[in-house]
Amino acid sequence: MSQAALQLVGADLGQTDAEVLAFAAQAEPPVSAHAEAARLAELAAAFALFGLPIDQPGDTDFPIATADLAYRAYEISPDAPANDWAAPRPAAARRGLHVDPTLPVKILQATDWLIVAAAAQFAALWGTGAGLLDLSIGHAAAFIMSAGALKVGLWLTDFYRFSPARIRPERGMGGLALGAIVGVLISNAFAPDARGAAALAATLPFAAMLLAGIHAALALWISAAHRAGAFAENIVLIGATDAAQRLAARAAKSGEARIVAVVDDRLTRSPSQVGDAPVIGGVDALLAWEGLPNVDRIVITVTQKAETRVRSMIERLRVTPNRIDLLLDFETQAVRGGRRVERFGGAAVACVSGRPHNHRRAFVKRAEDIVIGALLTMIFALPMLVIAALVKLDTPGPALYRQRRHGFNNRVFTVLKFRTMRHDPGAPLAQARENDARITAVGAFLRRTSLDELPQLLNVLRGDMSLVGPRPHAVGMKTCERDLTEIVAEYAHRHRVKPGITGWAQVNGSRGPVTSTASVRRRVRFDLEYVARSSLWLDLEVLIRTVPLIFGDKGAR
């Protein structure tokens, strides 16, 4: 990659999300279709395709984008030759449990703090007969500093710098011994009296031995989880290159990733497999692969010297919501710090589409869904039973309607709703229309109040959906006889988060069916705003603003 391009990566990666927040805070005046397209493209650029000049002025292969470029549908010429040879495809990658590789370090640090606090409290009670909160600040500080020396010893010996594949509990022995010695010296200098110093001298070695035992037990658990693949991501490599060979070998050794497939458009020059992963064909084969929704990350290993080829690959991969990284052609130590340049498999990678994983946000989001979702399920349990009985009595058919829809990472799941139309299993898929004759009397009320969505609380508790997020669209859904990805090129980015029962688009007036290309673009723009701004406080705002809609949603049909 050229020096100018590298500087562009660093500049983009170092920028804040202020532009995203400023854009999302704009008012909602009526805008033209071109202006709407430009705003959507601007928002998508705020969190996708970082670091690569996809549309640079003066590049004949990638001209300056016009306002409607994101909405053009490109067709394959009917005269294009067929490719009758198909590379073998692996079985669909299974999406098992994936744990943040940094979680073991955080668990150990939290555990150590608890033991250190307990040691300080025990020594204070033993030496003075009072707890830390009952002592003066000076006397309490003596016990806290003495016990805290155990943590300092672990930090000085770099005990916390390990990966799940390389955890060695014996590395902490020296740090604990050093900490215990320093703690005893501190206690002799600052303890309130000889009894307090003696209590610390007896407590600190015991606490060090307890920590060593806990470290050994946690190391066994972490090692077992690592061997079971709990810390490994499902990865697809783009390009059967030497760099891909090296990355696959390091990933297999460290257990940091499972290389499930390799993609290369130049099949005649490519090996049949890289490491243990098969070469499945080109980018088109990857996009058609049923295992793609279970892939955590796509890594492009083609050298950046082939800039046109790399940009072309990223442009083609924009239709998938999976995170896309670019393997950089230099040593990790030479990379300037940046929010989107990170170490992966012993190499430097730059995130060029999507956002780096935010495990803390994911944990908060899931906790929010479980706590609030369980509470709402209990509140609405009796009303849901009454609604189910009314639906059954109104017209023949089941009370619940099941439909396959796209969820997180484009995975397909079954959504639950109360049936609002006449039961006709053989009817073709079609969006509801105004004054639709298929809607029943009870169904019209349920749609108007959005009560037909209540069974989706079960989808939330199962983990298929979230309380707040872009509304899930049915598999095969079209508008104006066109696929939604043909209308909005950035459509797939709405699947970077779980779908929700309610969302930012719904509380901003974009509800009900999307019957025109303009309504699709407006809906997707709101969805991308939510993806860019997603937070606990935004979710709470959406939930609060959803409540009035239950008492009269004029946008529902």
273 sits in which H/E element = strand 273-274
When pLDDT is cut at 50, 70 and 90, the band that residue 6 belongs to is very low
pLDDT at 450: 82
104 phi and psi angles, rounded to 5 deg: -55, -40
pLDDT at 122: 93
pLDDT at 174: 87
When pLDDT is cut at 50, 70 and 90, the band that residue 374 belongs to is very high
Looking up tokens 């099941």 gives: 402
Can you list the positions of beta strands (E) in 287-420? 297-300, 323-327, 341-344, 347-353, 400-406, 412-418
Q: List, for residues 287-331, the tens digit of each pLDDT value.
A: 888 888 888 888 888 876 777 788 888 878 877 888 888 888 654
Task: Please tell me whether residue 421 adopts helix, strand or coil conformation.
Answer: strand
Looking up tokens 């805008």 gives: 31
Q: Select from 305, 352, 307 the least CA-distant residue to 325.
A: 352
Asked whether residue 144 carries a pLDDT value surpassing 90, the answer given is: yes
Q: Report whether 544 contacts 59 (CB < 8 A).
A: no
DSSP state at residue 90: P
Number of H helices, E strands in the chain: 17, 14
Asked whether residue 482 carries a pLDDT value surpassing 90, the answer given is: no
Q: List, for residues 387-422, the tens digit of each pLDDT value.
A: 999 999 988 889 898 888 888 888 888 999 999 888
Residues 242-266 have a mean pLDDT of 81
pLDDT at 46: 52
Helix axes 194-227, 103-128, angle to 10 degrees: 160
Asked whether residue 123 carries a pLDDT value surpassing 50, the answer given is: yes
Cα–Cα distance between 285 and 493 in angstroms, integer? Answer: 20
When pLDDT is cut at 50, 70 and 90, the band that residue 31 belongs to is low
Asked whether residue 151 carries a pLDDT value surpassing 80, the answer given is: yes
pLDDT at 253: 75
Name the most confidently modeled range: 17-21, 301-305, 483-487, 504-508: 504-508
Lowest mean pLDDT among 320-324, 464-468, 550-554: 550-554
Residue 463: both structure tokens together: 């983990």
Domains of the chain in sequence order: 3-25+232-356 (3.40.50.720), 103-227 (no CATH), 360-550 (no CATH)
Asked whether residue 24 carries a pLDDT value surpassing 70, the answer given is: no
Q: List, for residues 159-194, the tens digit of each pLDDT value.
A: 888 877 778 878 888 889 999 999 999 988 888 888
Label each residue of 172-194 as H, E or C: HHHHHHHHHHHHHHHHHHHCCCH
User: Is 69 buried (19+), middle (13-18) or exposed (0-12) by CB count in 10 A?
Assistant: middle
Angle at 318 between CA 313 and CA 319, to 5 degrees: 120
Q: Select from 371, 474, 382 the least CA-distant residue to 428.
A: 474
Of the two residues 58 and 148, the one the predictor is more confident about is: 148
pLDDT at 70: 35
How far CA 30 is from CA of 35, 36, 448, 554, in Å, comes to 10, 9, 26, 20
Q: Select from 321, 318, 348, 344 the least CA-distant residue to 332.
A: 348
300 phi and psi angles, rounded to 5 deg: -90, 115
When pLDDT is cut at 50, 70 and 90, the band that residue 32 belongs to is low
Long-range pairs, 300-303, Cβ under 8 A, ≥24: 300/238, 300/239, 300/324, 300/325, 300/326, 300/327, 300/352, 301/237, 301/238, 301/239, 301/241, 301/243, 301/244, 301/247, 301/327, 302/238, 302/239, 302/241, 303/241, 303/243, 303/329
Of the two residues 455 and 48, the one the predictor is more confident about is: 455
Q: List, for residues 500-544, the tens digit of each pLDDT value.
A: 999 888 888 887 777 777 888 888 888 888 887 888 899 999 999
Give every CB contact of residue 240 below 8 A, 6+ residues apart in sequence: 262, 264, 270, 271, 274, 279
pLDDT at 222: 86
When pLDDT is cut at 50, 70 and 90, the band that residue 487 belongs to is low
pLDDT at 35: 67
